[in-house]
């Protein structure tokens, strides 16, 4: 199947969304029982953590952990936002830097000013987008000290949708920011998979939302392949992706290719597909890649290939560098639940 298709369905009783591109699964969102990233709480400070510069917070969904706190004392209420999924036995990760994010607009409390995505390069388009935003702000002004970011999904022919989005986000921000005092409370629940798909998957795509969309679009078959640690790559190469409690280990194999260039070809195939595999499998934290035989002279080429792929990722991933044993280290934000054990 050529082109992009967004499938909105349920998987094992949970809301789910999948992005298929030319018949290949590109992205996957499956709901969980844990607090969703983007959820906003009025939380109450409980106790500081000496040596880490953090504070445990009380929320309706359990303890949360806030890093880099200054001037916060036990018993004080404040607004926080969930940044990712908590690891088993750990507190919910939260931040004070709250964002009100939608498809076209992001309201940024504490960061005033109106900014347009740099990806919108045409001056006329930028002016049209700004005009639409100002039209929305006429009906719903930004809270004091807040700013606005107009996302790359904004186009000149979407003036009405942009204005509506700005009104919705500015109004929500005003309501939430005015409700910062009191006991611990859930103020805004994070977006589920269907809403998140609408917000983030903005490329032109067909929408399939009837029951059974995962089955007839091939998403179910693609999910079956994610149950295996073994990933088949073009050219007969492969890689093994194994999450452990401490890190994610990735081993690249050349298969039956014994040619002098087999190591480079296998590594290039693996590094091209690695960002997609990490995204689909919901993997983050420390990641160690054991490449196929790789002379030092090839490392820069491979690293550049991987960085180019990771640059397009919404999840922040840092390429830390090579170890003395020839392993490549990555550090990736945990903003998704691992797929292992959930399919």
Same domain, 328 and 233: yes
Last residue of a domain, one of 173, 191, 209: 191
Residue 107 CA to residue 115 CA, distance in Å, equals 10
| pLDDT tens, position by position, 141-168 | 999 999 999 999 999 999 999 999 999 9
Residue 343 located in a structural domain: no
Exposure string (b/e) for 243-276, b if CB count within 10 Å is 16 or more? Answer: beeeebbbbbbbeebeeeebbbbbbbbbbebbbb
Range of the domain at 166: 100-191
| pLDDT tens, position by position, 112-124 | 999 999 999 999 9
Last residue of a domain, one of 142, 173, 191: 191
Same domain, 310 and 285: yes
Whether the Cβ atoms of residue 280 and residue 343 lie closer than 8 Å to each other: no
Residue 47 CA to residue 252 CA, distance in Å, equals 45
Residue 162 located in a structural domain: yes
Predicted confidence at residue 245, as pLDDT, reads 87
Whether the Cβ atoms of residue 112 and residue 141 lie closer than 8 Å to each other: no
Predicted confidence at residue 1, as pLDDT, reads 65
| pLDDT tens, position by position, 84-113 | 998 888 899 999 999 999 999 999 999 999
Residue 220 located in a structural domain: no
Residue 23 located in a structural domain: no
User: In CATH, what number is assigned to the domain containing residue 166?
Assistant: 3.30.230
Sign of the CA dihedral with 126 first, then 132, 136, and 141 last:
positive
Residue 83 located in a structural domain: yes
Residues of the chain with pLDDT below 70 are 1
Same domain, 322 and 240: yes
Residue 247 located in a structural domain: yes
Residue 91 located in a structural domain: yes
Q: Which pairs from 83-91 meet CB under 8 Å and 24+ separation?
A: 83/37, 83/335, 84/37, 84/284, 84/333, 84/334, 84/335, 84/336, 85/32, 85/34, 85/37, 85/334, 85/335, 85/336, 85/337, 86/34, 86/35, 87/334, 90/65, 91/56, 91/62, 91/63, 91/64, 91/65
Q: Specify burial of residue 132 (Cβ count, 10 A radius: 0-12, 13-18, 19+).
A: buried
Same domain, 150 and 78: no
CA nearest neighbour of 333 among 84, 117, 48, 11: 84
- Residue 81 sits at φ, ψ, to 5 deg, of -130, 140
Same domain, 232 and 328: yes
Same domain, 185 and 149: yes
- Give the Å distances, CA to CA, from 290 to 115, 323, 327: 41, 10, 5
Same domain, 152 and 83: no
How many domains does the chain divide into?
3
User: In CATH, what number is assigned to the domain containing residue 56?
Assistant: 2.40.50.140
Same domain, 247 and 311: yes
């Amino acid at each position: 199947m050529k082109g992009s298709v967004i499938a909105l369905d349920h998987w094992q009783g949970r809301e789910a969304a999948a992005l298929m591109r030319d018949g290949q699964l590109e992205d996957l969102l499956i709901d969980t029982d844990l607090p969703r990233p983007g959820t906003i709480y009025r939380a109450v400070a409980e106790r500081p953590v000496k040596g880490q510069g953090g504070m445990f917070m009380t929320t309706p969904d359990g303890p949360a952990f806030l890093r880099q706190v200054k001037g916060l004392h036990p018993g004080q209420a404040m607004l926080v936002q969930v940044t990712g999924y908590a690891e088993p036995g750990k507190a919910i990760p939260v931040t004070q830097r709250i964002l009100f994010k939608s498809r076209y607009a992001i309201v940024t409390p504490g960061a005033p000013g109106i900014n347009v995505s740099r990806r919108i390069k045409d001056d006329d388009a930028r002016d049209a987008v700004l005009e639409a935003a100002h039209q929305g702000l006429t009906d719903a002004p930004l809270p004091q000290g807040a700013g606005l970011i107009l996302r790359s999904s904004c186009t000149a022919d979407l003036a009405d949708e942009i204005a509506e989005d700005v009104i919705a986000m500015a109004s929500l921000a005003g309501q939430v920011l005015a409700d910062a005092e009191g006991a611990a409370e859930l103020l805004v629940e994070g977006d589920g998979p269907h809403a998140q798909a609408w917000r983030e998957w903005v490329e032109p795509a067909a929408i399939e939302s009837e029951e059974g969309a995962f089955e007839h679009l091939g998403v179910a078959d693609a999910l079956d392949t994610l149950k295996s640690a073994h990933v088949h790559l073009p050219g007969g190469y492969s890689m093994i992706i194994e999450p452990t409690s401490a890190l994610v280990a990735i081993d690249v194999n050349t298969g039956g290719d014994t040619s002098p260039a087999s190591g480079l070809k296998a590594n290039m195939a693996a590094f091209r597909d690695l960002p997609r595999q990490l995204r689909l499998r919901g993997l983050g934290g420390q990641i160690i890649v054991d490449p196929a035989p790789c002379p030092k002279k090839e490392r820069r080429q491979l690293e550049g290939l991987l960085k180019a792929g990771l640059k397009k990722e919404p999840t922040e991933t840092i390429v830390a560098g090579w170890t003395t044993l020839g392993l490549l280290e990555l550090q990736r934000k945990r903003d998704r639940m691992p797929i292992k054990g959930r399919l």
